[in-house]
Amino acid sequence: MLDAVWLVNAESLHVVAANHAAGELMAMAPSQLVGKDVIELATTPEDLFFWGEVAQGLSDSIESDTLVNDTHGVTHAVTRRVSRVQAGGEPPYFVVVLHDRSEQQRIERELEGASADLRATLESTQDGILVTDLVGRIRNFNQRFAALWQIPPDMLLQRDDDAVLEWMRRSVGDAPGYMRRLAAIDDATMLQATDVLRLHSGRVLERVTRPQCMHGRPIGRVYSFHDITERLEANERIETLSYTDALTGLPNRRLLADRAEIAIAQARRDGTPFSLLFLNLDRFNHINETLGRVYGDRVLLDVGDRIKTCVRQVDTVARLGSDEFVVLVNQADSRAAETTAWRMLDALKQPFSQGGMSFTVTASIGIALYPTDGASMDELMRRADAAMREVKHAGRAAFRFHRDRPEADHGVSRSRMRLDHAMRLALANERFRLHYQPQVDLNTGAVIGAEALIRWRDPELGEVSPGEFIPVAEESGFIVALGDWVLKHAVTQAARWDEAGLAMPVSVNVSALQFQQPGFVDGVAQALREAGLPPHLLELELTESILVQDAQDAMLRLQALAQLGVKLAIDDFGTGYSSLAYLKRFPIGRLKIDRSFVSGLPAEESDVALVHAIIHMGQALRLQVIAEGVETEAQRECLRVAGCDLFQGFLYAPALDVPAFEARIGFVGPARD
Ligand code: C2E
Ligand code: MG
Ligand code: MG
């Protein structure tokens, strides 16, 4: 026998024989065991008690787990079975069989340890976990699972699987869909799937399921549940914000453009005209400067409300920014437009009272009609805007229709032409320069990049700001040549730094027209090659408009650029056509929060909300977020706390020429020629 066996005389209770295994267990020769009193060999009270009862003739068998000590005093766990035997005329014996359990115990302890590890792991994840067997019985779950599904503790304690599964079914909004999906998952044992579940509680869970396998064979299924409610809310907020003006909640330029498109389509169909009224408050700056921006914001809210009372529900009142409002009046000819304009001027005439103060605000309105004044929303806006400006020149507080007045337009275009001409000369004469603005890590304070910004000092015009000449260059197409120049110089500078041991990524602004040139991607590749710059040290800053104009084509270009290894960022994020749809699809690495939102931090609630939403969204999409135009410590702190990654702005440094940039970041490079 493999187990240890003693034969015990039933009268004397002395061992009369022991096998080899018994000797090994007790660490002595089997012969040494012979003659020993079993009561002496007993280690536990149970054994003592049993042999005592045997002696009194009260008991003659036992089987249980117990312990025995060997001669060295080492304790062994055993299963001990005692039975009485009597064969033929022989005196009766007790057979004691001892089965050594140490190995089994070691395995049990290991299993216990592993299961404790598993439990700890299960409980420490942020996801709810549910493990089932192949027929859907619950095998394991963690507390987070119970919390996410708000399963009553009683139900879990009772381990009533049916009740738990039924509870889950009743918690989801679309129970039939949920059941269908579960059935499909059950049918496909090896299926891995991700689904989104909306619960009645308002929570949204992402469910990931995969098979659980042992030795390559499925034995059950693991479900993990991740709460994505907040992430979705941030996304939805961005979507609404991207259609509405954050301050007034009125439609913004984007929504206005959508509505104008619909109005144009309808007008084409049934031939009814519509009109666009461009309204700008008179001397609004004055209110802002004397009473403060908070006050100014309240006035803008009031103005929005009043304008809304002048039009029908079907019309659109949009705010473009600052004190500019645009009203789209559907099915309105010039007479209807005029009536509306009068109504708006009247509505504004009523004094405003804010914080115990009373004052009046007037406005100038320009009107353009479809189709007589333009065929597109852009054209109508330009015309209405021009008409509004004429009102301002003529003394404000009135309205005016657009009229073709070639002489007036002439003045504008001549100065534009002059600027355009001066730019072309400046490029030929190398009068453009690049300045670099440091981009700083909000957590470490390290400078991690530089944005190249163009500068131009003209002998006649003096220093001209890019805000002035870039739009002119974009309109005339000159931006393509200018953009090439910028790209080439910025890449050369980055390569120079790189050679000198300063790996400083440089960000270059790219205009839409430049981006759309057929050879744009090749041009970038060539510039990198010629300068010998590793592509990851170049970042291109694109505007949102680039991505929406011809999304298909833009996608191909962006992919080609990403393949080159060039980094991509969205500039002025939040001001244009912010749409999650494209962010998800395009290979973008970074979002730049526009300066206009940063300037309101930390006081402006709407700016704080928007900035938070952008940061959340960036995090959800794993994009870096950089804030532009950070001027104060308070702004920086607010952004840091909100989880923003990077910033640039006057607080750290404006755009600097190369020597000043190097001095600011404390770089001592090799002497320049
Ligand atoms: P952007 O790309 O959004 O550049 C940021 C602008 O904010 C720069 O104005 C910069 O000097 C300014 N800025 C930086 N920090 C602060 C701050 O703390 N406070 C304030 N108030 N402003 C700050 P800049 O250089 O006048 O450029 C204006 C715009 O012109 C740029 O906006 C960009 O759209 C365009 N631009 C500049 N250089 C180029 C270029 O090389 N190519 C193209 N296509 N566009 C350019
Ligand atoms: Mg930029
Ligand atoms: Mg910007």
What CATH class has 245-402? alpha beta
| Beta carbons within 10 angstroms of residue 300's beta carbon | 23
How far, in Å, CA of 165 to CA of 145, rounded? Answer: 12
What is the H or E stretch that residue 570 is in?
A: strand 567-573
Any atom of ligand 1 within 6 Å of the Cβ of 373: no
Percentage of residues of the chain with pLDDT beyond 90: 50
What are the structure tokens assigned to 135, written together? Answer: 């027929």
* Residue 337 φ then ψ, to 5°: -65, -40
Task: For residue 504, give the 3-state DSSP assignment.
Answer: coil
How far, in Å, CA of 332 to CA of 495, rounded? Answer: 59
How far, in Å, CA of 496 to CA of 498, rounded? Answer: 5
- Are the beta carbons of 26 and 68 closer than 8 angstroms? yes
Any atom of ligand 1 within 6 Å of the Cβ of 539: no
Bond into 218 cis (ω within 30): no
How far, in Å, CA of 165 to CA of 104, rounded? Answer: 36
Q: Which of 387, 380, 472, 442 is nearest to 633 (CA)?
A: 442
For residue 408, the model assigns a pLDDT of 42
How far, in Å, CA of 207 to CA of 648, rounded? Answer: 39
The CATH architecture one would assign to domain 435-665 is Alpha-Beta Barrel (3.20)
How far, in Å, CA of 257 to CA of 275, rounded? Answer: 13
For residue 198, the model assigns a pLDDT of 92
Is the confidence at residue 670, as pLDDT, over 80?
no
pTM, to two decimals: 0.50
For residue 369, the model assigns a pLDDT of 93
598 alpha carbon, closest ligand = 1
| Beta carbons within 10 angstroms of residue 573's beta carbon | 27
**How many residues belong to the chain?**
673
CATH topology of domain 4-105: Beta-Lactamase (3.30.450)
Return all residues near 323 (Cβ < 8 A) that are at least 6 apart: 280, 281, 284, 300, 303
Any atom of ligand 1 within 6 Å of the Cβ of 645: no
451 alpha carbon, closest ligand = 2
- Looking at per-residue confidence, does 29 or 291 come out higher? 29
What CATH class has 125-231? alpha beta
For residue 405, the model assigns a pLDDT of 47
Identical fold for domains 4-105 and 245-402, yes or no, is: no
Q: What is the pLDDT of residues 66-77, one digit of tens each?
A: 999 999 988 899
In this structure, the strands spanning 363-370 and 399-401 are parallel
Any atom of ligand 1 within 6 Å of the Cβ of 631: yes
Is the confidence at residue 208, as pLDDT, over 80?
yes
Provide the residue ranges of all domains of the chain, joining segments of one domain with +: 4-105, 125-231, 245-402, 435-665
- Are the beta carbons of 27 and 74 closer than 8 angstroms? yes
- Looking at per-residue confidence, does 413 or 211 come out higher? 211
Is the confidence at residue 87, as pLDDT, over 80?
no
| Beta carbons within 10 angstroms of residue 377's beta carbon | 21
State the pLDDT confidence band at 406, using cuts at 50, 70 and 90: very low
Going by alpha carbons, the residue nearest to atom 13 of ligand 1 is 629
Bond into 602 cis (ω within 30): yes
